[in-house]
Every structure is written in structure tokens, then in C-alpha cells.
Amino acid sequence: RTVDGGADVNFFREPNNSYAFVQMSSVELAREAVERLDCTVMRGSTISVTHRDAKYARAPLTEEEREEKELRTVWVGRFGDGVNASHLEDIFRAVDGGAAVDFLQ
């Protein structure tokens, strides 16, 4: 599903664990998303703004572009089946105004 503008969201599901990889559209929005996640459903999960997107790069990046992209990337790890992926998606959309979302089983 694609909605206007905003974050790139990828969910990875494994037995007993799920992961969300999110490329936000700005560093500020990435930080805001992490704050919101930290305050809501994500106790016990790994939440960080970190570089996880080398294989997702659509074009070669300069070092400056890579560094800036790294700071826009939110990684949510091991949130388990108790957390609804659509709830996570809602949080990212609330922060970033839209998302391109892939659910990877």
C-alpha cells in the first residue's frame, strides 16, 4: 500500500518476533517516532535510530547522504505477536504523514 509522502516502512515477521525497519523523511521525525514508540507499546523491544538500510539504497550515496539517511532510519526489533503491526504503522503515519508499507512474511 502506498500513501502520499512520508516514511518507508518494512515489517519482518519471524516465529515469536517481528521487526520494523523504517526510513523516515527527516532526522527530526525519526527522533519523534522513537520517542512515541518508547512511550507506548514497545516496552522490552529494541528501538533505535540506526543504519540498517545499505541493501535498500536505490542509488549510490555520498558519505554525507549516507550519514543523513542513517539518522533517519528507525529500527524496531523483537516486538513479538502482542504488538499489532497496524498499530505501529499508525504511530509512524501520525509522525510522518504517510507511509509506503511492505509486510514481509
38: domain range? 12-19+29-55+72-98
pLDDT tens for the chain, residues 1 to 105: 333 456 666 666 666 666 777 777 777 777 777 777 765 545 555 555 444 443 444 456 677 777 776 667 777 766 655 566 677 777 777 777 655 544 443
* Beta-bridge partner residues of 46: 77
Question: Residue 66 falls within a domain, yes or no?
Answer: no
- Position 63 scores a pLDDT of 77
Strand, helix or coil for residue 29:
helix
Name the domain count of the chain.
1
Helix or strand (DSSP H, E) at 9: strand 7-14
Residue ranges in the chain assigned as alpha helix (H)? 27-39, 63-71, 85-96
Q: What is the pLDDT of residues 87-97, one digit of tens each?
A: 777 777 777 76
Helix or strand (DSSP H, E) at 99: strand 99-104
Reading the block at residue 67, the C-alpha cell is 550519514
Q: Do residues 34 and 65 lie in contact, with contact meaning Cβ atoms separated by under 8 Å?
A: no
Q: Do residues 44 and 29 lie in contact, with contact meaning Cβ atoms separated by under 8 Å?
A: no
Question: Residue 62 falls within a domain, yes or no?
Answer: no
